[in-house]
Structure 1
Amino acid sequence: MAESPTHTDPQPIDAILSDVYRQSLAADVGSVADYIPELSKADPANMGIAIATVGGQLHTIGDAETLFTIQSISKALTFCLALERLGRDAVSQRVGVEPSGDPFNAIELHPATRRPYNPMVNAGAITVAGILRDAFGADAFEIVHQRFSMAAGRTLSFNEAVFKSEEETGHRNRGIAHLLIGAGALELPADTALDLYFRQCSIEVTAIDLARIGATLANMGENPVTGKQVFDVTAVRDTLAVMFTCGMYDYSGNWAYDVGVPAKSGVGGGIMGVVSRQLGIGSYAPGLDPNGNSVRGVATFRALSDELGLHAFDPTNAGSGFIRTFFDRNTGDVRL
């Protein structure tokens, strides 16, 4: 049997980032989200990429330090917190883990269980917000904000204007919340669960923050820079599994096929990807496709997956992938 080719002289990671950045800039800009008025103010020309390894290294290019709101990427992290706090069985009684095949803001529940399909669609995320509200009471947002900040390794800011904009225009989410109450998946009152949901989506991050948070998840819940254990290991495993199957809206199946890494996108223009035990990737480009994913962000991840051999089912990952070339099995570090 012929041996797989090896990368004896791999390109430096910064050169690859530069190439990927140029390729992604050539993609269509997409359309900035306007159903939340404050999001329509984003500059569609902005684009940044960051890679953070489990060994603490950071590589960036472009607008990687530009602030934007985390939006639906928060759904993965709050789900992780709910699993940690209540356990898998209790959470699964109120929200499932199946891909829905419907838009993320669909006013629809699983026909058999009468529960949200998964925590990455709005119905599931609002249910998770209700779970955290019930568990933590008035301190729920403070705890969510603190954990997000711990994962990023710095205190994250909060965008009051985006929060107010979401609160004032979130009528569809209010309809979803009342449907959930009628189905028994969400407990009264609806307003406090929605308030937490709108607030978690309005936390500000950069592409660097997303990469650091992704690296924390990749590092079994421990922030690789601060050394603090942020998330429970078992909760991280379950969260990454749902991110892999449901994290990219209606593109999730194609994402698993084309990119092959757990990821979560947000309509603020961010995408966070996690390569377990290796690294986190963050991208920012606010122009969206019809599914609500960043057009240039998707192009970035597709190119990085190809260039670095990141796909979970890429047969070259076992020995000749770019990342494996730099992976120290003894320390778990990726020396890029």
Structure 2
Amino acid sequence: MEKILEEVLNSNRKYTNYGQVAGYIPELKKAKRDDLGICVIDKDNNIYKAGNWDTKFTIQSVSKIVVLAMALMDNDWQYVFSKVGKEPSGDPFNSIMKLETNDTKKPSNPMINAGAIVTTSLIKGASLEEKEERMLKFFRKLAKNDNLGINYDVYKSEKMTGDRNRAMAYLLRNDGFIQGDVEELLDLYFKQCSIEVDTLDLARIGVNLASYGVDIETGERIIDEKVSRIVKTFMVTCGMYDASGEFAIKVGIPAKSGVGGGILASVPNTMGIGVYGPALDKKGNSIAGIKILEELSQKLELNIF
């Protein structure tokens, strides 16, 4: 398997030349454009890795699937989906437009920034500190990594430049989709996006989703089975931003990307995959990462459709 991963990495490395690292968050500019890594964990807990698999990067929007699972386990589902929709938006992940033009003004889904801000607001906790502690504990459990933490340089950079997210959050509070202190909520959201991971962490979260929320090592249920199905469904329909349809056709694997360069993929009953490649395409997805997953899906016949 590792030989296959090396081959797939090498055959798609050229695509890093066609992308750019995220520039709108200053700290993310420090990433090396030609870095490329992958980790695969199969259902038998075999771990395979290649390239820059252990390079640390911030999870960014990949965090949305974990926080969605938390929100659905913390709240009645009907209540969650009264606050955020279930449909692809067809717009960039940071678009504000439909918060004004939709009849309901409700965010289209939990995978775009507006929807993710809503799901973050639904995490239970008596204080910001308690919510942050619960969130980190859940991430660490899913990744089986007690050392997962927040990159505070990235967090401060996001907080300083996050005016677009700030505008969304105030619109959402104005229309009743979130309550409470907007700045406190955004603080939690920026910290959520700034959790530092590597491809092994993503692959571990991915394989736990692939096993429908059951830890493949211990047999412990971490995520409710129905919740894991909902999360993977959103990954298919909305996980790759406004390129999700094309990705579903070409790759056919539930996946979620982030502008830090990470992609988490989860092949039901088969494996979890973590990919890192900070050179992004115009839609905010890892340009070489997508190509790697496309080739890997073909070689290993992973397409769920």
Q: TM-score range by the shorter chain?
A: over 0.9
Q: 2:61 aligns with which of 68, 72, 92?
A: 72
Which residue pairs with 1:193 in the alignment? Answer: 185
Q: Contact conserved, 1:150 with 1:223, CA < 8 A, in 2? A: no
- The RMSD of aligned alpha carbons is 1.1
The answer on whether the counterparts of 2:199 and 2:262 sit within 8 Å (CA) in structure 1 is yes
Match among 75, 78, 93 for residue 82 of structure 2:
93
Q: Which residue of 2 aligns with 1:333?
A: none
Asked if residue 118 in structure 1 is aligned to residue 106 in structure 2, the reply is no
Amino acid across the alignment from 1:55:
D
Amino acid at match of 1:144: M
Report SS of the residue matched to 2:170.
helix
* TM-score for the superposition, normalised by structure 2: 0.95
SS in structure 1 of the partner of residue 39 of structure 2: strand
Contact 1:153 1:226 in 2 (8 A): no
Report the counterpart of residue 18 of structure 1 in structure 2: 6
| Separation in structure 2 between the aligned mates of residue 59 and residue 36 of structure 1, nearest angstrom | 31
- Among 136, 154, 157, which residue is 1:162 paired with? 154
Give the TM-score of the pair, scaled to structure 1: 0.87
| Total equivalences in the alignment | 299
List per-residue Cα deviations over 1:62-92 (Å, max 9, x = no partner). 1111110000000011001111111321110
Q: In structure 2, what is the Cα distance between the partners aligned to 1:28 and 1:159?
A: 24
Q: Who is 2:215 aligned against?
A: 223
Q: Deviations over 1:20-66 (max 9, x none)?
A: 11112122431000100000001112110010112211000011111
5 Å-filtered alignment, 1:229-308, equals 229-308=221-300
Q: Which residue of 2 aligns with 1:141?
A: 132
In 1: Cα distance, 2:220 partner to 2:37 partner? 27
Return the letter of the residue paired with 1:243: M
1:226 to 1:44, Cα distance in 2 relative to 1, 3 A = farther
Q: Which SS does the other structure have where 2:41 is aligned? A: strand
Counterpart mapping for 1:318-329 below 5 A: none
CA distance in 1, matches of 2:14, 2:295: 12
Give the distance between the partners of 2:126 and 2:292, measured in 1 at CA: 39
Identity of aligned residues (%): 43
- Paired with 2:276 and 2:218, the residues of 1 have a C-alpha distance of 24
> For the residues of structure 2 that align with 1:87 and 1:53, how far apart are their CA atoms?
32
CA deviations on 1:116-143 (whole Å, 9 max, x unpaired) are 00000000000111111xx223211111
SS in structure 1 opposite 2:150? Answer: coil
Q: CA deviation at 1:226?
A: 4.5
User: The residue matched to 1:299 in structure 2 has which SS?
Assistant: helix
Larger radius of gyration: 1
Q: Which range moves more in the overlay, 22-31 or 73-82?
A: 22-31
Task: Structure 1: state its 5+ residue gaps.
Answer: 1-12, 314-336
